[in-house]
Chain A
Amino acid sequence: MTTLPRTLAWLLVGLMAYPALAKEKLTVLTAFHEDVVSRYETAFEQQNPDIDVQILWRMPHDALPYLSQPQQGGVDVYWSAAQQNFNVLKQHGAWQKLGIDRNGLADRLGAMPLVDPEGTFCVSEMAGYGFAVNPDYLQKHGLPLPKTWLDLADARYQGHLALPIPSKVGFAPMMVDSVLQQYGWEQGWAVLAGIVANARLVDSGATFITDIIGSGERGIGPAIDFFTASAIANGAPLQFVYPEPVAYSPAHIAITAASQHTEAARRFVNFVLSETGQKMLFHPDIRKLPARPGVYKDKPAGYFDPFSASAQHPVVYDPNGAIPRLALNNVLFDRLFSDHPQRQQNLWNGLRKQEQRADAAKAARLVKLRQLLTAAPIAAAKAQEPALQKLFARRADEAQAEAEAKSLEQAWAKDIDRRYAEAEKLLLELER
């Protein structure tokens, strides 16, 4: 540093010229992508230069124990698409009342509540489930746009779908559950069976679904909307189809009971829910659905409006009711489908060929074969047992629950194997 004295002088002037500007630190725990978080962080700090936002990132399953620590890990605001965490932590008194002005914010979207009845957390934005579609692919293969989940189970889509495995892909459990809720337990599994028969099962996330559909490897990928919507906004030649009705995954925001920065936290929550904050969701790199209906008047062209859509096809899916059974659903999906996708698809291929031949002499056996391939893995009444649902939800944390769950899984796997074996035998008879 013997040279450049003028530069040094500049730098030193800078070093000494400014007094310290003390900022209040606000800690926000989230699992949102950096593209989302960094924009809110920057925009909020521009409006609130006295606050320094620190972001901590954790997936929902890792956020729950973190927020259960003494002083809730120093977190002031929890902001995540993790309904279960908000519910569980509320029971433990983890939240304080939001205490915000909800003027202009909706309290419900059809069957889905957008605010906790006690006002301790509320929906900050939503994401919709639907179908990522490659229009060129559909045109090339002469396929129509699907409109419903049932459409996806149609034989004409065989080999054209990519379906995320719910136990492997974070957004997928609720998506699969929404099919079960919309169509009912028995018919729901039948619809899923038909969809799986048409699909490549995918064990990576939503960006991968978008990659697969964008590449033209498959034409349709059931997914959560924002990855595809963002890709479209940034130039990808894709389309996202919302089925009728749409199911949504809500994200919530809450202020921790242990927060030492309640006022700053409230300012952050208010910012996220404000017109400015909600309109930021329209950005091409975010593309989520605001919870403030009024901002849709300024939405970009073609942007989906869940409030308008719900007026046509009311939302029937309530994620609150779904949460207890998601872990069980995942296991059933894996034992029924993920364990033997090729076997399942071979059987469906055979079934469809036989059904096309419309041989009256085979009608009864075809009904039986279809029933074997579409039956729910366990009875609806059994699946509704709270004890069973809890067993699977707890297995990761409790050895006893894990042992019992594993035993049940093995039994179900055997039943399913027997069922497929019977179907294979029946198909062989039909093909003779």
Chain B
Amino acid sequence: MSARLSHLLLGLSCCLAGLPLAQAETGFEVADASREAYSRIHPGLPQAKSEEVFRGRGLFRQSWVIPPAKDIEIAGLGPLYNQISCLSCHPKNGRGQPPETPQQAMRSMLIRLSLPGEDEHGGPLPHPVYGGQLNEQGVPGVPGEGRVSVDYREQTIKLADGETVKLRKPIYSFVDLHYGPLPADILYSPRVGPSVFGLGLLEAVDEQTIRQMAEDGKRQGLHGHPNIVWDAERQRNVIGRFGLKANVATLKQQIAGAFIGDMGITSSLNAQENCSAAQTACQQAPSARQPELSDSQLDAVLLYLRLLQVPARRDTGDPQVRQGEKLFAEIGCAACHTPALTTGEFPELPMLSKQTIHPYTDLLVHDMGQDLADGRPDFQAGGGEWRTPPLWGIGLVERINEHSYFLHDGRARNLAEAVLWHGGEALPSKQRFADLSSGKRQALIRFLESL
């Protein structure tokens, strides 16, 4: 069976080779510009792992069931949760989107919560009742924690060549809070579900490389730094690289965190249901087996995500794209959106080792200015700091996810707006972008669309 699966994966890869528009695939970069481009599994996995990766794919796509249930393998949703499937927030392994009106529910977005202060490991201090995340849904008999309504306030900015751009700023309001009001000093952070391909490669970038990028940045006058976070498995502080503030140590912990935080599904890394002492109905609701996500299931999802390939760049010969790429470097974007990295040794899955990748991130957190700040520190990432988001595959978001909302809260309605929201350390680059001629700005956007 496993030999067949390996052959199958190889075949799937081969049948993509003829697709137009994309450059030849190398390693983890796959020449695919279709709507399945975020869902390609690397064909070179060891035979012994073949069945596991498909199991992981199935679990990632699974809609989970509230207990008690006959299907114990997929039971455990809730008692409190945001969505019923990983795919809900990461549709087609890509980006979620924010609500467009105050009435719409957050379907692929959530709100992190905390109080001022730190927990015992230096992370955010959860709210004693609502915890670290507002769970809008509850299983029958358990009220959801409440909803967040989002509205937008538009502002117009004028670029150097006279062109005007409207930017919209989100305004959040908590409604229908079922477990009492939130305090005035509550800290909250809106997060749209990010894409999930290429994460294995980011995990395989060694710490020394990340530290070196911070040093290189300093020489350019930048202050980006690694976020040092608590690794609950290794029981020590390490460089964080997952989550929008690089606030999670490993991909496994990121997955387990999403299972408990977003879906209320326990695992060996998060054995307790997400009910606070004041949430009595939640505490009394039945659980499925413990843990609800078995170690083998967690490992299967981990393997699947580690093996997701990355869309290769397209249209690299297009003169406008080439011009945009040059401008991307010239105006300073590439100082943080590092175009190329090499992964280190990764014994857990050696095929991830020593790969040259093009993520367009330095995995560091940078101050992005007050306009983008959430005011919610997370380990060493300050309230105005965000991890440089990888840009690989960003040019396919519109095709695959059928929207063009960008940034952590989806406020940007296109790539140009996303650039124009940059502040803090990125302010000079943003300003240079705003000062470009319309044609050059368009060239830079075309370059981003080629990623």
Contacts and interface: CB of A to CB of B under 8 A. Distances in A.
Contacts of A41: 107
B162 interface: no
Interface in A19-68: 19-23, 27, 33-35, 37-38, 41-42, 45-46, 49, 52, 54-59, 61-62, 65-66
A33 B85 CA distance: 10
Contacts of A103: none
Contacts of A235: 19, 32, 34-36
Contact of A4 (B61, B102, B137, B370): B370
B238 interface: no
A52 B36 CA distance: 30
A15 B370 contact: no
Q: Which of A7, A22, A56, A285 has the largest number of chain B CB atoms within 10 A? A: A7
B54 interface: yes
A14 interface: yes
B70 A216 contact: no
B383 A3 contact: yes
B110 to A, nearest CB: 15
Contact of B172 (A11, A234, A237): A11
Interface string B364-406: 0000001001110100001110000000000000000000000
Contacts of B176: 20-23
The size bracket of the interface on A is 35 or more
Contacts, number: 157
Nearest to A32: B63
B11 A4 contact: no
Contact of A215 (B8, B32, B105, B373): B8
Interface stretch (B181-189, B271-279, B309-317, B347-355): B181-189
A231 B171 CA distance: 39
Contacts of B14: 216
Contacts of B107: 38, 41-42
Contacts of B149: 18, 21
Q: Which of B61, B92, B373 has the largest number of chain A CB atoms within 10 A? A: B373
B7 to A, nearest CB: 6
A38 B173 CA distance: 23
A14 to B, nearest CB: 4
Given A3-B383, A214-B15, A56 B116 contact: no
Q: Which of B9, B34, B140, B184 has the largest number of chain A CB atoms within 10 A? A: B140
A34 B63 contact: yes
Given A41-B107, A62-B69, A217-B4, A57 B84 contact: yes
Nearest to A74: B140
Contact of A56 (B10, B11, B66, B105): B66
Given A18-B102, A18-B175, A38-B91, A237 B15 contact: yes
15 contacts: A3-B375, A3-B383, A4-B370, A4-B375, A7-B384, A11-B172, A14-B171, A15-B184, A21-B102, A22-B176, A27-B140, A215-B7, A215-B9, A215-B15, A235-B35
